[in-house]
């Protein structure tokens, strides 16, 4: 079972191996909502449907899109709060229901991305091996670039075999920032005196 695919059973779903009841009126019949938050690396748009986060996307730097602290959507507020904790170095893992459309191959790639530990990186070749086909490196790279849930599905943790920061839909300077940020907090913040 893919942890990216949301499996609906009796008005409940499973995500990240956890079973969550969503038959609360708060989660029912909510249209897809988009919410903009400010982060240290620019504005991010969070998209959510009835029961899952559908996208976390960077917004172009020159966009005059307004930012707001609170959304009317409980999942967006939960996501925004967890992203805020991530940027503060207080969160290493996300606990959110996720759903993005894709083929079984794409779902497998995104599932493997979720298994890359905070503060660690792997190569595109290693990712293709984890998917089950070392020869699918280009397809894996393309799918990595199509990930619509930035940071949470950590496509930024995939680098070139030579250690280079290759390809990132959110721009390479953000990928570098995210990896440095995670490296700084991976083993706890070091303080002197």
Question: Maximum distance among all alpha carbons in the chain?
Answer: 55
Instruction: Say if CB 149 and CB 113 are below 8 A apart.
Output: no
Structure tokens, 152: 């949470």
Please report the DSSP string for 97-146 in residue order: -B-----HHHHHHHHHHTTSPTT--EEHHHHHHHHT-GGGHHHHHHHHHT
List alpha helices for the chain, DSSP H.
Answer: 74-87, 104-113, 124-131, 137-145, 172-185
79 has catalytic annotation: no
Annotated catalytic residue, options 155, 158, 159, 178? 155
- Indicate which residues carry an active-site annotation: 155
């Amino acid at each position: 079972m893919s942890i990216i695919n949301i499996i609906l059973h009796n008005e409940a779903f499973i995500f990240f191996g956890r079973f969550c009841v969503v038959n609360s009126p708060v989660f029912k019949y909510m249209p897809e909502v988009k919410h903009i938050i400010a982060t240290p690396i620019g504005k991010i748009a969070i998209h959510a449907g009835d029961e899952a986060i559908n996208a976390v996307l960077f917004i172009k730097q020159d966009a005059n899109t307004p930012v707001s602290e609170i959304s009317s959507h409980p999942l967006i507020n939960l996501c925004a709060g967890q992203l805020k904790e991530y940027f503060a170095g207080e969160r290493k893992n996300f606990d959110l229901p996720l759903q993005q459309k894709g083929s079984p191959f794409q779902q497998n790639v995104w599932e493997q991305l979720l298994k890359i530990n905070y503060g660690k990186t792997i190569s595109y070749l290693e990712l293709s091996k984890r998917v089950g086909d070392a020869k699918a490196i280009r397809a894996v790279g393309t799918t990595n670039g199509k990930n619509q849930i930035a940071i949470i599905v950590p496509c930024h943790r995939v680098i070139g075999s030579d250690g280079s920061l290759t390809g990132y839909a959110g721009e390479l300077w953000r990928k570098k920032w995210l990896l440095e940020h995670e490296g700084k907090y991976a083993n706890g913040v070091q303080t002197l005196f």
